[in-house]
Amino acid sequence: MSYQKTVLRAWNENILFSALVELTYRCNLDCVFCYNDLDLRGKPLALEDYERFFRDLASLSCLHLALSGGEPLVHPQFFEIATKGRDLGFVLRIKSNGHSLRGRMLRRLKEEIDPLIVEVSLHGASSATHDRQTRVEGSFERLLANLAEMRELGLRFKINSTLTRWNESEIEGMFAIAERFGAPLAVDPDVTPRDNGDFSPLEISATPEGLRRLFSYGRTDDAVRQGDGELPTVDSKKHCGAGSSGIAVDPFGNVYPCVQWRRPVGNLHERSIRDIWSGNAKLEEVRGLSERVKRTLAGGGPGMFCPGTAEGLTGSPIPGLPLHPSQLSPSR
Amino acid sequence: MLSDAAVFKPRSDVRFRVVGDEAVIVRQEDAEVIALNDVGASVLSLLDARRSVRDVLEALLEQYDIDHESLASDLSTFLGELRDAGIVEEA
């Protein structure tokens, strides 16, 4: 049995295999195109809620746990939460902007949490561009220093970037930075709307020329992101694992099929993930839609279509033609 | 041949889950992913830093219809392979 077949089985048999948890929407940067709904309110999950949630996930065979945000490291109980994840045997990913990954924080992360990988964000190949997007002066130079420290410490990391019209002319320089640090660079070709439906981030979407530049760079096969802890699976009836093998959870306990597909299917304050996962009509609908997307695209179409982002953009997760470039591969 | 009294545990960088009747193992140091079949998953689940090889053998004999001698030999070989692959170590 190969890992690919295990993922396929998870998709087909609805085995919850990976979870992305947004611990907080607080952040120490202020990215222009941040997709988080910063106005969303609710009762934040407490440490004991996370502990119960993680235990349930482990009992459901979930292996991959990504801690995200906002900036997860600014959550006041980040280390307590992540330690629980580690103790329960999850393969941990930390999705961070990298701004505070230095000194004692960095050493604690390596020694206490030992994640499989830390994913950090690069917004350009120059201070002018990176800092323009993060709206924090000095963030570029600080990130480069932090990457050097991470490498020296032996922390496994990769670099993520979103292609925008501000940084599209620096794509070669961004790959050069990644190469300098010996880290893979994954470029998301799409800026997505905010989770509250605000389309203003799309104002800095990459231009068609920028997209061509990225895709002609010759590194796109390994540069375009795949989902958390999963491999692309061509033999499934489903288009993706959203709501079938994976979920996303926001800081207030709302559960979604995935980080892009912001259609709530339950809340952890009201029901356990075990209850939400089984016999859930909303999840069944998402799984059915995923099959429909697969069938719709079977006759040809973009291989990187994301039903979640499509629903955010158009109100429908089903692909229609012609497709807007921003509907292509928006994995975060 | 391993000692019956030896006790094994997963190495600290190893994460695994039993998914259905298989085990998915991630060896974090090199990001290697390994899948094991149902018998392999059963063995790995029993390597908890407390059970000896003898205990593991007895637990497996209750689960599988196989003679003691064959299973003991196969278990010893398999544990050696898991150790050589950097998945388990002696506790």
| Interface touch A5/B36, C-beta < 8 Å | no
| pLDDT surpassing 90 at residue A175 | yes
pLDDT of residue A3: 77
Q: Do A1 and B16 touch (CB under 8 A)?
A: no
- Residue A91 · residue A134 · CB < 8 Å: no
pLDDT band at A1 (very low <50, low <70, confident <90, very high): low
What's the burial of A51, exposed, middle or buried (CB within 10 Å: 0-12/13-18/19+)? Answer: middle
Two tokens at A219? 């590194």
Query: Contacts by A1-6 with C-beta closer than 8 Å and gap 24+?
Result: A1/B22, A1/B35, A1/B36, A1/B37, A2/B35, A3/A231, A3/B24, A3/B33, A3/B34, A3/B35, A4/A231, A4/A233, A5/B35, A6/B19, A6/B22, A6/B24, A6/B35
Residue with the larger pLDDT of the pair B23 and A108: A108
Q: Which chain B residue shows the shortest CA-CA distance from A91? A: B15
- Straight-line distance from the first to the last Cα atom of chain B, in angstroms, rounded to the nearest whole number: 17
Q: Confidence class of residue A319 from pLDDT cuts 50, 70 and 90? A: confident
Please report, in angstroms and rounded to a whole number, the separation of the first and last CA atoms in chain A: 29
* Closest alpha carbon to A190 in A242, A229, A225: A225
Chain A residues within an 8 Å CB radius of B35: 1-3, 5-6
Residues of B whose CB is below 8 A from A15: 19-20
Helix (H) or strand (E) holding A189: none
Give which of A9, A11, A63, A245 to mutate to test B binding, by max B Cβ within 10 Å. A63
| In the block, residue with structure tokens 């050493």 | A107
Dist CA B46 CA A303 (whole Å): 42
Question: Residue A178 corresponds to which tokens in the numbers above?
Answer: 């990644």
Q: Distance (Å, rounded) from C-alpha B65 to C-alpha B47?
A: 21
CB-CB: which of A17, A58, A116 is closest to B28? Answer: A116
Rounded to 10 deg, the angle between the B53-63 and B68-84 helix axes is: 120
Q: What percent of chain A has pLDDT over 70?
A: 89
Average pLDDT estimate for A92-104: 98
List alpha helices for A249-332, DSSP H. Answer: 273-277, 281-297, 307-314
* Smallest Cα distance from B72 to chain A, Å: 24
| Cβ atoms A245, A286 nearer than 8 A | no
Q: Do A116 and B17 touch (CB under 8 A)?
A: no
Mean pLDDT in chain A? 90
Verify whether the Cβ–Cβ distance B35 to A2 is below 8 Å: yes
> Which residue among A63, A114, A116 sits closest to B24, beta carbon to beta carbon?
A63
Q: Do the chains contact at A116 and B26, CB–CB below 8 Å?
A: yes
Among the partner residues B12, B18, B35, nearest to A3 by beta-carbon distance: B35
Identify the H or E element spanning A55.
helix A47-59
Chain A residue numbers touching B36 (CB-CB < 8 A): 1
Provide φ and ψ at A253, rounded to 5°. 90, 0
A254 contacts: CB under 8 Å, gap ≥ 6: A42, A264, A266, A267, A268
CB–CB of A26/A69 below 8 Å? yes
Contact residues on chain B for A91, CB-CB shorter than 8 A: 15, 26, 28
Cβ contact, residue pair B35, A89, below 8 Å = no
Q: Note the ipTM here.
A: 0.86
CB contact under 8 A, B26 and A63: yes
Per-residue pLDDT tens digits for A287-300: 999 999 988 888 66
A256-280 burial, b at 16+ Cβ within 10 Å, e below that, comes to: bbbbbbbbebbbbeeeebeebbeeb
Residue A267 Cα to chain centre, angstroms: 20
pTM for the complete prediction?
Answer: 0.90
Distance CA A211, CA A191 (A): 12
Of all residues in chain B, the one with the smallest CA distance to A15 is B19
